[in-house]
Structure 1
Amino acid sequence: MVTAALLGTDRRALPAALHAPGKEAPVALLDEAAVQTVRRRAGLRPAPAAAPPEPAAKDPRPPLPPAARRRLATLLTDQPGTGSGGRRGATPDLMELLPQWLALANARGYGAPPELLPALLNAARGRTDLRPQALTFAGPRALWLARLNPDWKFALRATPGSGMALPAANDAPQVQRLWEEGLFAERVALLTALRAHDPHAARDLLATTWPTERAEDRLMFLDSLRTGLSAQDEPFLEQALTDRSRNVRATAAELLSALPTSALAGRMASRAASCVAVDHVSSTPTLMVEAPHECDMAMERDGVVPKPPAGRGERSWWLGQLVEAAPLATWPARLGNRTPAQIVALPVADDWRDELHAAWCRAAVRQRDATWSRALLGTPAAPEAAGPGAVSLAERAKLLAALPTAERADWVAAFIASHGLSEAFQLLGVCAVPWSEPLGRAVVDALNIARDAGSYPWSFSGVMGLAERCLDPAEAVRLEALTAIPDEPEDASPGAGSYWSEAFQRLVTTLRLRAAIREELPPL
């Protein structure tokens, strides 16, 4: 039968027993194949049934309201358009609303509908930025599903210990046993959880096996000490400065430099202070810089990397590391009891200004010092877009993160009013969502100015995308007037008015959708 099926009934005749009156050979062959299939299935002997999977853990969170569940289903099934020529049209991109929907649902404490978990995991599989919020919302059932479907293994990798249950922090025997016998992922999860609950116990547990750990494991374990870092960790970190691994030594030095009262911070302050002084001989007080002439063993032990990257001078490289690691409280007393703003305003001799100020910027970011951050940022209306201390907009964005939320928004609003939107994208990214009213109005006013100038909105697509996600939904009323097609000036780009109209229509519709989402997810 197999040979006849392969060669064809024209080339291989069927046995006479298969020929039925009035039935063509191909039909007779298929009929016989069907009979043989039934015989084969009927002859199978029953085998023991496979063990069913353990039931998924219960999710104690309350279910979504019906309207919110329907909204989530819509967001998960939306496929972004593939428009051409940069034209997105007036239809909102629903997938861009999904991260905010998940954040709000998690903040309100709702649980995920089981029937939507596959679509949610598929969305998170394709977008790594969704995964933290999606897995939090999905809850324990996501891990249960991930163990059954290889496409969702990312959920296990993203969960400490691959979602395995950890012993209670006060169960010392079980904690010690898992620490000594567990897999690496389980040990990292255990140390991280214990550090959040009892920092001292986590450090003591790590110390019991520290000398026998692999270098790459020591680095990962040491990084967990960032949570709850305190002066009590200093003796352990000082010991880690003599580690065989340079990466471990560098991480230990970074952690110690974040403790202003640590011995390492004092040593770095002494080294940095010896490199910078005020010259009172000249008519104007000037900062004089004498960079280190060598990187000795003691500096290397404290985390200074001796070899600079390509194109960087050794002395400037060493100076930057010393100043970055020194507590910022070192400088006022060292430089004539001046305030940070006065210090930043001082001229610096011999072209050391950029190097010195860049190191102070990194120190202000690391130490989250608002006073120094204000001084290095300068005024928003300053002609220099980078500011008196920061050498780039990226550094300004990092410095802004050290300021209180309201002050940060006001500073960026004033910057936009002075410089427009072309240089504000990175700064807007560090502002709290939703944007404050002054910041939102500054962005809308700047977009309106660009619209009236007749340019295409594509140059502002990044800011427009941020506005869709970050503007307060209450701004939709104010933006309604901008959805009409404006009269184009003679020097305007052809068709720019209709493009702007579509962009503002999309923005208004998106803001209204965000307002509806808020109403559909009420606080519990």
Structure 2
Amino acid sequence: MSAAPTSPDALSAVPWEELVTVALLGTDRRTPPWLPTGRKAPTALLDLAAVETVRRRAGLNPAPAGPRPAPAAADPRPPLPPAATRRLAMLLSDRPGTGGGGRRGTAPDLMELLPQWLSLANELGFAAPPHMLPALLDAARGRTDLRPAALAFAGPRALWLARLNPDWRFALRSVPGGGSELPFPEETDRVQRLWQEGLFAERVALLAALRSRQPALARALLATTWTTERAEDRLMFLDSLRTGLEAADESFLEEALSDRSRNVRATAAELLSALPDSALAGRMATRAAACVAVDRTQGEPTIVVEAPHECDPDMERDGVVPKPPAGRGERSWWLGQLVEAAPLGSWTARLGGRTPEEIVALPVADDWQGELHAAWCRAAVRQGDPRWARALLGPPSAPEAGGPGAVSLAERAKLLSTLGPEERAEWVAGFIATHGLSEAFQLLGVCAVPWSAALGRSVVDALDIARDAGSYPWSFSGVMGLAERCLDPAEASRLEALTAIPDETEDTSPGAGGYWAEAFQRLTTTLRLRATMQEELRER
């Protein structure tokens, strides 16, 4: 009989894999020579495994100590009130809502309230509690829509943590310069060095920062290396000129129209068309005017359209894409691009001195109205022209505003974005009052939060009408979700009467009343919670 090894050297000679194999097979089936036989073998095997486990865990050689990281930058903002701190912990950890349609219960979806909480905390200028930064960064990692507000709230300490944890590297990519300090415009040497030697992300951030302060300096810096940049880099750099776009950019953009890259040429043409006095805008106006005229020979003045018969090289150079997408005719495709790029102000002179409202009201011959009005919509959005946007939107009570027409819902939403917040909310409220909620979701998404009193009333009234009609509430789950986030919390008192289960009639969908009551209870609870959150953040 062999005795079990007892010295450290003898134990180290027993491979760990051998110990595991014997344990799996059992000492009755396999008794190695270094184990006693009989009833002592299992105990000896376990003793050896315990000793070897400790050796394996403690056997790592310590590495040399690395340099300690520099302390995080101080955050001068005031700390959160205690109640708001506790609320933030709940919002980051408790997720009772499902976030989808169907039956969700009456509890608010706290994670959907986190963006609003962060927005208000940033507005009031509070600093994030240091011990909550990991949870905040984890939440922002999983939801890109949270990142701007979350990183603004987290402040400089978030960047310090992001340099130490690869899971939070997104924070470095989300700030100009990847978290590094950008030079000021007057630091000429640092600006030139970073532009010539910096990483691509740092150069993009530098150009964007300069563009927001000194547009001419950013343009001049870009011109120094333009011809040596890669095509994809030129496109990104050119896109930064959208900020502070000015007439002085025209010469540089005209040169970019001859770029080797089609995408660069298209972006340069788009930017030039947003400058109504540019030479390109004038060329496009001339081309578009040759295609659109008013026919006065009939009893009623009518717009007639003669779409281009070819896309010549000069048109291509000015950004017209010659090949249409699948399902589009060539001539209508070319026409839309010409009209979209032409200055809207040129149409008044071209069409008999008429105002935008009068031009839009003119009949269009040969089924060209949809194509023409859609191109004017894109032009109004590109050029940020609220007068043309109003004309194309028309009154919200118009019958065609509630169904398929020349101006689609997507186009209306974009046109609304050119108007001020109050006018936007007023138009959508009028649309809902006339047409209901069935097509309002996309329009509500462009309205400022919280909704104005008139818009909030129109949404609640339309939901009440749908409830009385016996419709299923999940048909309106999208609007309900928006209401939870966008209604003014003061509207909670008006909703009390809607939280009761209504009487069912013959026309009511089975069980719809209970679902509506549940949905309104959740809406009311959420609004009250939002009111409480606001009070907690404003505590002093």
* TM-score of the superposed pair, with normalisation by structure 2: 0.92
Does the 8 Å contact 2:105/2:518 carry over to 1? yes
Q: 1:488 to 1:387 in 2, by over 3 A?
A: closer
> 1-side partners of 2:536 and 2:100: how far apart?
34
- For 2:318, the equivalent position in structure 1 comes to 302
> 2-side partners of 1:294 and 1:372: how far apart?
29
Q: 1:404 to 1:43 in 2, by over 3 A?
A: closer
1:169 corresponds, among 177, 185, 195, to 185
Does the 8 Å contact 1:377/1:387 carry over to 2? no
- For 1:97, the equivalent position in structure 2 comes to 113
- For 2:279, the equivalent position in structure 1 comes to 263
- For 1:212, the equivalent position in structure 2 comes to 228
Mean alpha-carbon deviation: is it higher for 84-93 or for 196-205?
Answer: 84-93
> 2-side partners of 1:201 and 1:85: how far apart?
51
Mean alpha-carbon deviation: is it higher for 302-311 or for 119-128?
Answer: 119-128
Does the 8 Å contact 1:61/1:110 carry over to 2? yes
> 2-side partners of 1:461 and 1:169: how far apart?
50
> 2-side partners of 1:26 and 1:301: how far apart?
85
Does the 8 Å contact 1:376/1:387 carry over to 2? no
Q: 1:23 to 1:52 in 2, by over 3 A?
A: farther
1:9 corresponds, among 27, 34, 40, to 27
User: 1:286 corresponds to which letter in structure 2?
Assistant: T
1:484 corresponds, among 480, 484, 500, to 500
The structural deviation recorded for 1:30 is 3.3
Q: 1:96 to 1:82 in 2, by over 3 A?
A: closer
1:349 corresponds, among 350, 365, 382, to 365
Q: Deviation per CA, 1:318-368, whole angstroms, max 9, x where unpaired?
A: 111111011110011111111111111111112111111110011111111
The structural deviation recorded for 1:24 is 3.1
1:418 corresponds, among 434, 438, 444, to 434
The structural deviation recorded for 1:45 is 6.3
Does the 8 Å contact 1:124/1:134 carry over to 2? yes
SS at match of 2:304: strand
SS at match of 2:293: strand
Does the 8 Å contact 1:99/1:133 carry over to 2? yes
Q: Does 1:514 pair with 2:530?
A: yes
User: 1:263 corresponds to which letter in structure 2?
Assistant: A
User: 2:45 corresponds to which letter in structure 1?
Assistant: L
> 2-side partners of 1:105 and 1:84: how far apart?
27
> 2-side partners of 1:39 and 1:107: how far apart?
56
The structural deviation recorded for 1:141 is 2.0
- For 2:288, the equivalent position in structure 1 comes to 272
Q: Deviation per CA, 1:401-457, whole angstroms, max 9, x where unpaired?
A: 112211111111111111111111111111111111111111111111111111211
- For 2:145, the equivalent position in structure 1 comes to 129
Mean alpha-carbon deviation: is it higher for 379-388 or for 249-258?
Answer: 379-388
The structural deviation recorded for 1:33 is 4.5
The structural deviation recorded for 1:512 is 0.7
Q: Deviation per CA, 1:84-133, whole angstroms, max 9, x where unpaired?
A: 99211111111110111111111111111111111112212222211221
Q: 1:25 to 1:419 in 2, by over 3 A?
A: same
2:445 corresponds, among 426, 429, 435, to 429
- For 1:453, the equivalent position in structure 2 comes to 469
Q: 1:43 to 1:416 in 2, by over 3 A?
A: closer
- For 1:377, the equivalent position in structure 2 comes to 393
Once superposed, what is the RMSD of the aligned Cα atoms?
Answer: 2.3
Q: Does 1:396 pair with 2:412?
A: yes
2:518 corresponds, among 498, 502, 509, to 502
> 2-side partners of 1:437 and 1:38: how far apart?
69
SS at match of 1:64: coil
Mean alpha-carbon deviation: is it higher for 478-487 or for 43-52?
Answer: 43-52
The structural deviation recorded for 1:13 is 3.8
The structural deviation recorded for 1:465 is 0.7
Does the 8 Å contact 1:4/1:12 carry over to 2? no
SS at match of 2:122: helix
Q: Deviation per CA, 1:282-312, whole angstroms, max 9, x where unpaired?
A: 1111111111111111111111111111111
The structural deviation recorded for 1:156 is 2.5
Mean alpha-carbon deviation: is it higher for 267-276 or for 1-10?
Answer: 1-10
Q: Deviation per CA, 1:136-192, whole angstroms, max 9, x where unpaired?
A: 212222222223222222222323332122222211101101110111111111111
SS at match of 2:373: helix
> 2-side partners of 1:159 and 1:315: how far apart?
44
Mean alpha-carbon deviation: is it higher for 285-294 or for 22-31?
Answer: 22-31
User: 1:238 corresponds to which letter in structure 2?
Assistant: E
The structural deviation recorded for 1:193 is 1.0
> 1-side partners of 2:348 and 2:260: how far apart?
37
- For 1:113, the equivalent position in structure 2 comes to 129
Does the 8 Å contact 1:256/1:262 carry over to 2? yes
SS at match of 2:303: strand
Does the 8 Å contact 2:316/2:322 carry over to 1? yes
- For 2:4, the equivalent position in structure 1 comes to none
The structural deviation recorded for 1:485 is 1.3
Does the 8 Å contact 1:361/1:389 carry over to 2? no
User: 1:192 corresponds to which letter in structure 2?
Assistant: A
SS at match of 1:303: coil
SS at match of 1:277: strand
> 2-side partners of 1:186 and 1:84: how far apart?
39
Mean alpha-carbon deviation: is it higher for 356-365 or for 46-55?
Answer: 46-55
- For 1:151, the equivalent position in structure 2 comes to 167
> 1-side partners of 2:370 and 2:53: how far apart?
82
> 1-side partners of 2:444 and 2:158: how far apart?
34
SS at match of 1:385: helix
Does the 8 Å contact 1:326/1:363 carry over to 2? yes
The structural deviation recorded for 1:9 is 3.1
> 2-side partners of 1:406 and 1:84: how far apart?
30
Does the 8 Å contact 1:378/1:389 carry over to 2? no
User: 1:453 corresponds to which letter in structure 2?
Assistant: A
Does the 8 Å contact 2:402/2:435 carry over to 1? no
Aligned residues: 522
Q: 1:390 to 1:57 in 2, by over 3 A?
A: farther
> 2-side partners of 1:461 and 1:517: how far apart?
24
The structural deviation recorded for 1:523 is 8.7
Q: 1:83 to 1:100 in 2, by over 3 A?
A: closer
Q: 1:523 to 1:430 in 2, by over 3 A?
A: farther
Structure 2 unpaired stretches of 5+:
1-13
Mean alpha-carbon deviation: is it higher for 117-126 or for 6-15?
Answer: 6-15
Structure 1 unpaired stretches of 5+:
none
Superposed counterparts of 1:242-261, under 5 Å: 242-261=258-277
The structural deviation recorded for 1:53 is 2.8
Mean alpha-carbon deviation: is it higher for 443-452 or for 389-398?
Answer: 389-398
